[in-house]
Structure 1
Amino acid sequence: MNVFGDRDPHSVSCWLTDMDGVLVREERAIPGAADFIETLERYGRRFLVLTNNSIFTARDLRARLLASGIDIPEESIWTSALATAQFLADQAQGGSAYVIGEAGLTSALHNAGFILTETDPDYVVLGETRTYSFEAITRAIRLVERGARFIATNPDVTGPSPEGSLPATGSVAALISRATGVQPYFVGKPNPLMMRSALNRIDAHSESTVMVGDRMDTDVIAGIEAGLRTVLVLTGSTRAEQVAGFPYRPTRVVDSIADVVPLIAELAPHEDEELSAD
């Protein structure tokens, strides 16, 4: 049975997956998440875990996932901060930036060769932080007014917390845009740029890659625009009854990541199945 329509059912060699709402919820593993990663590794599938969260480094996220029982190599985690740093390095190698963000973003930019400065930077780079400073936002506004180019890691307007929603990067970006009249360039999902940078990182092709996500408006649309097959899981943001309201459709809709695990074997080349049985 071809589980993905008309495409070759045995052509999937790579997987991309969102993190929050797919693998974990409030730092607890979603049932089936650890098995999903273990099955990918058993069949030798290349994969990346994607997140729009720019607060943490890949090393931090690996430790947090491991604490929940999900063992993912550091090099298999791709954040909007890493994608932003790579994008800027490609645009202006050795440039300078004024950054609002935390270690995930500042370390990524440092490693990409950027100088972090408040004095005439090439870019203002906005990421997520637990405590947005009015002073820092004011400085960003003035630097953008003076000609600094405006970049934001992701367009998410809110983030979750035990007490409820928190303002996130998109909300603060809107504040700066309203004050300056300058719109930022968002690097993270749903920009397919992040998907393509992820594909390049694991040497994958869109025709042989599946994207798994919990949001129609970020994960699924980004996957579709990058030419991927998409799987929507219903353990996160998008509810089943909301899917029909979107003008695009995921390739598959399943209850949770546990339902994706059998697809890995079903979509694996026959020779891989034989090797795994030995």
Structure 2
Amino acid sequence: MTRAEDTNAEPRSDSTPRSTTWNYLMDMDGVLVHEEHLVPGADELLAELRSHGVPFLVLTNNSIYTPRDLRARLQRTGLDVPESAIWTSALATARFLDTQRPGGSAYVIGEAGLTTALHSIGYVLTDRDPDYVVLGETRTYSFEAITKAIRLVESGARFIATNPDETGPSREGVLPATGSVAALIERATGRAPYFVGKPNPLMMRSALRALGAHSENTLMIGDRMDTDVRTGLEAGLQTILVLSGISAADTAERFPYRPTRVIGSIADLIGRVTDPFGD
């Protein structure tokens, strides 16, 4: 889509935001990549951000992978994103727990992305009287592990989950994700989890701290109204909805809140990274 074909939604009632320097938070899937393929223009946009010295961070609710794993995945599509520019719900969860109970313990259902993040803050992973049960995403949810989590929550462990996504994609079709398993544990124990990832604005605030940025001059680019745009708004950010992922042209009309701007894809920002809301 060319700039002339920009599918802008009408701006919010306040004046069009202006800033001399913007910081960029960007969702990964549907914005930079689609499945295992590069979204056209993503490589050019990242190169332009670097050339202008614009700080950016790539966000994902996926807690399976470490930033190193995700960097390798992005490299396979042709995108060069340093590990330091990748922020996951696992990292946000670890930072949250470090502020709540430094040096604590947790029983974890999840993969390397989550366990590595918790080890990095000095947490002990154990199934004996842990402070927390921390539920993340995994491709192999075990009934035995879920049963153990239920019993630990019933015994007093606090229940934390990395993100509320109920399903995830795979080549074979839809898979149950963190939100679905969290619902099972909640139904069995009567105790709801605290979700750290999007749409919790805590995810954005932790990303802002990691980037060293402030909400006043930061924008969030995502392909989902219910997570990316909502979280950005609640964290006080300007928001851009792209139509290269899950959303269609009329998606924004079905929600009571609006993004600052709607565009076809991030390719529409090429040549305007320092003034993304200009005419």
* TM-score when normalising by structure 2: 0.92
Equivalent in the alignment of 2:7: none
- The CA deviation string for residues 144-164 of structure 1, in whole angstroms up to 9 with x for no partner, is 000000000000001111222
Change (3 A) 1:165 1:65: same
| Deviation for aligned residue 1:7 | 4.5
The residue number in structure 2 matching 1:146 is: 155
Which residue of the partner structure matches residue 176 of structure 1?
185
* Deviations 1:28-65, CA, capped at 9 Å, x for gaps: 11101111111111110111000000000000100110
Aligned length: 267
SS of 1:266's equivalent in the other structure is coil
Q: Distance in 2 between matches of 1:11 and 1:252?
A: 18
On the 8 A contact 1:13/1:209 being kept in 2, the answer is yes
The equivalent residue for 1:74 is 83
Deviations 1:243-268 (CA, angstroms, capped at 9, x unpaired): 21101000000111111223304359
The answer on 1:107 being equivalent to 2:87 is no
Q: Which residue of 1 aligns with 2:244?
A: 235
Whole-angstrom CA distance in 2 between matches of 1:11 and 1:207: 11
Q: Which amino acid aligns with 1:159?
A: G
- Closer/same/farther in 2, CA of residues 3 and 242 from structure 1, 3 Å limit: closer
What is the deviation of 1:25? Answer: 0.8
1:57–1:206: structure 2 CA closer, same or farther, 3 Å change rule?
same
Instruction: Evaluate the alpha carbon distance shift between residue 138 and residue 241 of structure 1 in structure 2; reply closer, same or farther with a 3 A threshold.
Output: same
Same amino acid, percent of matched pairs? 66
> Which structure dedicates a bigger proportion of its chain to helix?
1
Displacement of 1:6 in angstroms is 1.8
Q: Which runs of 5+ in 1 are unaligned?
A: 269-278
Deviations 1:171-220 (A, max 9, x none): 00000000000000000000000100111111111110010000000000
Aligned pair partner of 2:270 in 238, 261, 265: 261
1:34-53 map, 5 Å: 34-53=43-62
CA deviation after TM superposition for structure 1 residue 241, in Å:
2.0
The answer for the alignment partner of 2:221 in structure 1 is: 212
Structure-2 separation of matches of 1:4 and 1:264: 23
Name the aligned partner's letter for residue 205 of structure 2: R
Aligned position for 2:5: none
CA contact under 8 A between 2:89 and 2:163: conserved in structure 1?
yes
Which of 122, 126, 130 is matched with 1:117 structurally? Answer: 126
Structure 1 position 23, deviation (Å): 0.4
Within 1, Cα distance between the matches of 2:156 and 2:62? 27
> Given the superposition, is the C-alpha separation of residues 113 and 154 from structure 1 closer, same or farther in structure 2, using an over 3 Å criterion?
same
Contact preservation (8 Å) 1:24, 1:30: yes
Tell me the CA shift for residue 3 of structure 1. 11
Q: Using the alignment, how far apart are the partners of 2:74 and 2:14 within structure 1?
A: 33
| Offset at residue 135 of structure 1 (A) | 0.4
Is there any run of 5+ residues in structure 2 with no aligned partner, and where? 1-10
Q: State the partner residue of 1:83.
A: 92
Matching residue of 2:22:
13
CA–CA separation in structure 2 for the residues paired with 1:225 and 1:182: 25
SS in 2 for 1:178: helix
TM-score, length-scaled by structure 1: 0.93
Q: CA RMSD in A?
A: 1.7
For residues 55 and 5 of structure 1, the distance between their equivalents in structure 2, rounded to whole angstroms, comes to: 39
